[in-house]
């Protein structure tokens, strides 16, 4: 799955978000027990982890990143 990562300088309830693109296309895996409302994504590889907003093209949806954690070279 491909996602685009952003830094969002707007509040979560703002319609016209102030977005700055971080990475154009990052390959991620959806965790097994997840849903479309609050998906859990697994990022791997070397990438800039300074983002708080993602767009998932396959789902045609934007999401705020609530938290990030590192385990076994994956975020």
From residue 5, alpha-carbon distances to 33, 44, 69 in Å are: 22, 14, 16
What are the structure tokens assigned to 23, written together? 């990475």
pTM of the model: 0.78
pLDDT value for 19: 92
Residue 72, CA atoms < 13 Å, CB-side half-sphere: 1
Report, as ranges of residue numbers, the positions in the chain whose pLDDT lies below 70: 25, 45-46, 70-75
């Amino acid at each position: 799955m491909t996602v685009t990562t952003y830094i969002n300088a707007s509040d979560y309830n703002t319609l016209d978000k102030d977005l700055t693109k971080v990475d154009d296309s990052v390959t991620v895996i959806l965790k097994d027990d997840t849903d479309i409302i609050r998906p859990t994504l697994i990022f791997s590889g070397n990438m800039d982890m300074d983002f708080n907003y993602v767009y998932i093209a396959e789902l045609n949806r934007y999401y705020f990143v609530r938290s990030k954690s590192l385990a076994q070279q994956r975020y």
